[in-house]
Amino acid sequence: MHRADGGERSRPDTQANQKKYPQRKNQQPGLGFPRRRLVVLLALATACRTDAAGGPCKGKGASETERFRALVDRLGAGDVVVADRSSCTGWLVARRQRRGADACFRLHPRRPYDFAKGRPLGPGDHVVRWVKPARPPWRDAPT
């Protein structure tokens, strides 16, 4: 069983880090430190890091969701991932299911769901079924 979570870390203020991890636009040059986005998988039994994916905080593919996508491909059958609302996307759920892994997370507030449907498990817990949406033209075909 794993816990997935993300955040940002400051990097040493070197020329190489400034180039790889650019500062935010609202920072004056030479002030502050380069920032790196990181998503980790932690083993719930031991709290040890089992995997991680990191990179710049801005630009294409820099979101926590994109970093988590790289980690999903490293999960195996029978793995369970506990994650926050940012991981509550149909694409990530489908990707985990293809690998045989399960997930537990809070429903994203922008995802409407009728809780009169589905199966209640207890206070605050509910099993839901999502209908697969059509693939938008901007999304790559599955491999």
The reported pLDDT for the residue numbered 33 is 79
Ranges of the chain with pLDDT below 50:
none
SS3 content of the chain, % helix, strand, coil (to 5): 20, 30, 50
The reported pLDDT for the residue numbered 142 is 65
Q: Tell me, yes or no, if the pTM score tops 0.95.
A: no
The reported pLDDT for the residue numbered 9 is 81
The reported pLDDT for the residue numbered 65 is 79
The reported pLDDT for the residue numbered 98 is 84
Separation in Å, CA 137 to CA 60, 66, 94, 97, 140: 17, 18, 18, 22, 8
Separation in Å, CA 22 to CA 5, 15, 61: 22, 10, 15
Ramachandran sector of residue 69 (left: φ over 0; alpha: ψ -120 to 50; beta: rest): alpha
